[in-house]
Amino acid sequence: MPLTSEEGSRKSTADPMCPQPFRVESVSRETHDTFTLNLQPAGNAERPPFSPGQFSMLYVFGVGELPISISGDPEQARRLAYTVRSVGPATQALVSLRPGDWVGVRGPYGKPWPLQAGRGKDVLIVAGGIGLAPLRPAIFHVLRNRDDYVRLIVLYGARSPGDLLFRKELNAWGRSPDTQVLTTVDYGGVNWRGRVGVVTTLFRHLRLHPDRTVVLVCGPEIMMNYVVAELEQHRGVSAADIYLSMERNMKCAVGFCGHCQYGPYFICRDGPVFSYQQVRGLMGKHEL
C-alpha cells in the first residue's frame, strides 16, 4: 500500500471548503453510543485514497460538519468507514443517518501514522475509548503487511465492558501470529472476567524491546500523558519512537479557522499525529 507520509507538502488548488457528495452504505452499531458509518462516493466516483491516522470533515445536511478519523481498512477501495460516538446534536445527526442518505465529505486531511518508521520493528498500539478508531486502519495495515513488521501489540482500555469497541476484531487480531491484544476497563461489573484498571496497568504484562519498538497512541489527553510517562520513564522507549494523535476544536481542517491551535502547531495542518518529541513541551500544560 502506498503510504503518503508527506501528505502535508502538497498544495491544493480546489475549493477546500466544498464537500464532495457521498452516500451512506450502512450504519452499524458498535456500542450503546458508538456507530460505524460506511460511506461511498455518490455516482461512480472513486473514493479518495487515505493513510491510516487521517481524518475527514463529515457534513450532515443543514446540521453541521465534524472532524472524524477514518476507521476503516485502507485497502477497502470502495468505501470510507468512520466510527462516531454520539455526544451532541451533530454527532447524533450523523449516527442517525440511514443507508442511501447523503453526506458531504471533505478530505482526507492531516499527517498519518508513521507506518514506514515502524518497518522491521515491533508496533505497539495504545488506545483509550474511541481512540481505537483512528488506530484501526494502522492495525489493518500491519496485519496486511505482516512481514514488514515484527510483533504487533494492542493495548486497549475503555470505561466499561459495554464501551469496548470492535470486540470481535480484537479477539481475531489476538489470534493472529506474533500479535498480542490486551484489554482493560475502568469499571468491570459483575459479569466481567477481564482486566480492570487504567490502560497503563497493561504494561506489566509486556516484554518491550525499547530499541526496536514504535508506539502509536490515541485516547483522552490525560490517558496519553500517563502512557508517555510510563513508556519513557519506566519502559525506556525514546520520545522519538512515540507518536500521538491529538485533538482540538476544528472548523475548517485546512489551516484557516485558527481553532485547532496547539502551541506553535495547527492540529489539522501539522497533526493530528505528532511525534512525542514535537509535543512533549506542550503536553500537560494546563489550558494551553
Partner 1 sequence: MQNSAGPVPRAVVTLEGLRRLIPLLERRGYQVAGPTVRDGAIVYETLKKLEDLPAGWTDEQEAGRYRLKQREDAALFGYNVGPQSWKKFLHPSTIELIHIERNGEGVRVLNQSSPPPHYAFLGVRACELAAIRVQDRVLLEDRFADPVYASRRRGVFMVAVQCTRAAPTCFCASMQCGPRARQDFDLALTEIADKGRHLFVVEAGSAAGAEILREMDPREASPALCQEADEAVERAAVQTRQMDTAGIRDLLYQNFEHPRWDHVAARCLTCANCTMVCPTCFCTVVEDVSDVTGSHAERWRRWDSCFTQAFSYIHGGSVRPSVKSRYRQWMTHKLASWIDQFGSSGCVGCGRCITWCPAGIDITEEVRAIRGGSATSSRAL
Residues of this chain that interact with partner 1 (CB under 8 A) are 8, 10-13, 15-19, 21, 42, 59, 61-65, 87-88, 102, 104, 247-249, 251-252, 254-259, 261, 263-266, 269, 285-288
Q: Compute the least distance from the CB of residue 258 to partner 1, in Å.
A: 3
Query: What CA–CA distance (Å, rounded) separates 194 from 171?
Result: 13
12 vs 44, beta carbon nearer partner 1: 12
Classify residue 73 as exposed, middle or buried by CB count within 10 Å of its CB (0-12, 13-18, 19+): middle
If the CB atoms of residues 42 and 196 are measured against partner 1, the closer one turns out to be: 42
Residue 173's nearest CA partner among 145, 202, 152, 199 is 152
Report the residue number, 142 or 246, with the smaller CB distance to partner 1: 246
CB of 147 to partner 1, least distance (A): 35
Nearer to partner 1, 60 or 215 (CB): 60
Residue position matching grid coordinates 489539522: 268
Q: How near is the Cβ of 236 to partner 1 at its closest, in Å?
A: 29
The CA radius of gyration of the chain, in Å to the nearest whole number, is: 18
| Least distance between partner 1 and beta carbon 15 (Å) | 5
In angstroms, rounded to a whole number, what is the distance separating the alpha carbons of residues 243 and 240? 8
User: Residue 92 — φ and ψ, nearest 5°?
Assistant: -60, -45
CB of 48 to partner 1, least distance (A): 15
258-265 contacts: CB < 8 A, separation 24 or more?
262/288, 263/288
* Shorter beta-carbon distance to partner 1: residue 146 or 285: 285
Map residue 7 onto helix, strand or coil: helix
